[in-house]
């Protein structure tokens, strides 16, 4: 079986968890390469709903091992809580199945406090972060003052690093944000308590994955968030703090991209976004509320309502040129059932000009207007269709148009949340 990079083609929440889970039975490893517990992957197996924030969805398959790569930022408390939850459900979440890179950066208490405090201070320019400390943790990584998982092997290093960090951060917390200074010893003690449980999970994941490649094992590199939330290529500043583009799988795990066979873009059949930022095809009307309700568009991490809108092929074209997908998994197609007509934005109008790609000038996307084409909807229940040919003609036309607009083949169509509500085309 091939090695895959799987990534969200829009602003996240495309339904990646289900697709990873579907592919996992054929995989030896699922590796996360960026982001942290800002992600929320929902997987439904039988009557059970699993929401995973940091552990790759591959954990739900007995034979798959999970890697948390160097590019991830890890909240150790959330990680251990997830381990407990999985164990309670009878899933083996031991260190035999999950390894964290020594180089993964650790999200500390002060990262979360600063994330929330900063958002509180921004008036009309709030990013709408998940408040999980993701941005401040990546900031420390770039400032070269971060604490890495491997540092936990020597707690004296951790103690010094907390002291150093707080010298600066307490000034911000107290003087700028009017909060209470944090106590280094308290933070250290709390972290030290969980270190013995955490240590068995730490490993040289780069070597593990390189050896796996040499041995012909199959790896899925699991992206979090979506391409439009990429720190360099997304709708900055309304983005996350990591690179979500598919090539970051290589940097975030240490496996060169020449060993990757397929790049699988997960595309939701309409568009959603949580948090602030431009969203040209947003529907602030009944259709938007309908998509929200039928699609259960509430964030798996923060419970926030997701903004909903028509499919945006300008965004998809941008994703296609940034990541060059070989395959597309189209999700939540069933949510569109019952609508009389469907719209797809095929271009934007920006300053009188028609554009195939989002305008690249900072903040210009806010002013871009979508140019739509309209497709006939369908009324038939598609949630039990098992083959592409069983889909109504109008549904088939909609699917084919998406493949055409992205210039890639659709190999999987999801028509419901369960594993078996899936049409495999190839």
Kind of pairing between the strands at 327-331 and 307-309: unpaired
Q: How far is the CB of 42 from ligand IMP (least distance, A)?
A: 11
Nearest CA to 8 out of 401, 254, 275, 331 is that of 331
**For ligand IMP, the closer CB: 304 or 400:** 304
Supply the minimum distance, in Å, between the C-beta of residue 135 and ligand IMP. Answer: 5
Q: In the structure encoding, which two tokens stand for residue 424, read together?
A: 């495999």
SS3 353: strand
Residue closer to ligand IMP (CB basis): 30 or 274: 274
State which residue, 277 or 325, has the beta carbon closest to ligand IMP: 277
Structure tokens at 193: 């308590």
Residue 58 sits at φ, ψ, to 5 deg, of: -60, -20
**Residues contributing to the site for ligand IMP (CB under 6 A):** 11-13, 38-40, 127-130, 132, 134-135, 224-225, 229, 238, 240-241, 274-275
Query: In this complex, which beta carbon is closest to ligand IMP, that of residue 76 or of residue 135?
Result: 135
- CB distance 1 to 27 below 8 Å: yes
d(CA 261, CA 250): 13
* Rounded distance between C-alpha atoms, residue 212 and residue 209, angstroms: 5
Residue placing its CB nearer to ligand IMP in the complex, 130 or 205: 130
| Residue 61 CB, nearest approach to ligand IMP (Å) | 22
What tokens does 266 get?
Answer: 């997960």
φ, ψ of residue 94 in degrees (nearest 5): -80, 175
Provide CB contacts within 8 A for 197, sequence distance 6+: 80
Please, how many CA atoms are within 13 Å of residue 227, restricted to the half-sphere of its CB? 29
Nearer to ligand IMP, 235 or 422 (CB): 235
Question: Smallest distance from the beta carbon of 226 to ligand IMP, in angstroms?
Answer: 7
Q: Looking at the DSSP assignment, which residues form a beta bridge with residue 73?
A: 105
**How distant, in Å, are the alpha carbons of 29, 266, 308, 309, 339 from that of 286?**
43, 26, 11, 11, 11
Q: Where are the alpha helices (DSSP H) in 295-415?
A: 313-323, 393-406
Helices of type H across 179-228: 184-198, 205-214
- Catalytic residue numbers? 13, 41
Q: Which residues pair with 161 in a beta bridge?
A: none
CB of 208 to ligand IMP, least distance (A): 25
Least distance (Å) between residue 87 CB and ligand IMP: 24
Which residue's Cβ lies closest to ligand IMP? 275
Helices of type H across 12-154 = 16-24, 76-88, 109-121, 134-142
DSSP string, 215-265: TT--EEEEEEEEGGG-TTTSSTTSS-SS--STTHHHHTTS--GGG--EEEE
* Residue closer to ligand IMP, measured from CB, 205 or 225: 225
- Of 378, 400, 370, the closest CA to residue 310 belongs to 370
With beta carbons less than 8 A apart as the criterion, state whether 166 and 159 touch: no
Phi, psi of 235 (to 5 degrees): -85, 60
Q: Whose Cβ is closer to ligand IMP: residue 33's or residue 238's?
A: 238
Smallest distance from ligand IMP to CB 231, Å: 10
**Residue 22 or 127 with smaller CB distance to ligand IMP:** 127
């Amino acid at each position: 079986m091939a090695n895959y990079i799987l990534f969200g083609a829009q602003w996240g929440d495309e339904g990646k968890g289900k697709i990873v889970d579907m592919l996992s039975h054929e995989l030896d490893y699922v590796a996360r390469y960026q982001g942290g517990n800002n992600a929320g992957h929902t997987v439904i197996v039988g009557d059970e709903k699993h929401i995973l924030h940091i552990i790759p969805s591959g954990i739900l398959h007995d034979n798959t091992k999970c890697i948390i790569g160097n590019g991830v930022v890890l909240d150790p408390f959330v990680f251990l809580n997830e381990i407990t939850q999985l164990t309670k459900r009878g899933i083996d979440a031991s260190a035999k199945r999950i390894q964290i890179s020594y180089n993964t950066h650790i999200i500390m208490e002060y990262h979360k406090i600063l994330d929330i405090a900063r958002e509180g201070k921004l008036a009309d320019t709030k990013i709408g972060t998940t408040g999980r400390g993701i941005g401040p943790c990546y900031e420390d990584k770039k400032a070269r003052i971060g604490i890495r998982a491997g540092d936990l092997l020597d707690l004296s290093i951790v103690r010094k690093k907390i002291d150093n960090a707080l010298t600066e951060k307490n000034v911000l917390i107290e003087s700028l944000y009017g909060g209470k200074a944090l106590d280094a010893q308290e933070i250290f003690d709390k972290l030290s308590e969980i270190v013995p449980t955490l240590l068995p999970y730490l490993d040289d994941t780069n070597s593990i994955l390189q050896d796996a490649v040499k041995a012909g094992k199959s790896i899925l590199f699991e992206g979090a968030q979506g391409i439009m939330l990429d720190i360099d290529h997304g709708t900055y500043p309304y983005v996350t703090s990591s690179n979500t583009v598919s090539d970051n799988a290589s940097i975030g795990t240490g496996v060169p991209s020449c060993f990757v066979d397929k790049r699988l873009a997960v595309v939701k059949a309409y568009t959603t976004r949580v948090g602030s930022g431009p969203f040209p095809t947003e529907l602030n009307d009944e259709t938007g509320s309908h998509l929200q309700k039928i699609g259960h568009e509430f964030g798996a991490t923060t419970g926030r309502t997701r903004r909903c809108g028509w499919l945006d092929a300008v965004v998809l074209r941008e994703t296609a040129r940034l990541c060059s997908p070989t395959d597309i998994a189209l999700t939540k197609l069933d949510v569109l059932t019952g609508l009389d007509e469907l719209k797809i934005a095929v271009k934007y109008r920006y300053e009188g000009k028609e554009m195939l790609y989002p305008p690249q000038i900072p903040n210009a996307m806010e002013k871009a207007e979508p140019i739509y084409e309209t497709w006939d909807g369908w009324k038939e229940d598609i949630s039990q269709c098992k083959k592409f040919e069983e889909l109504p003609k109008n549904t088939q036309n909609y699917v084919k148009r998406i493949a055409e607009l992205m210039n890639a083949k659709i190999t999987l169509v999801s028509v419901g949340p369960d594993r078996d509500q899936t049409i495999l085309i190839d």
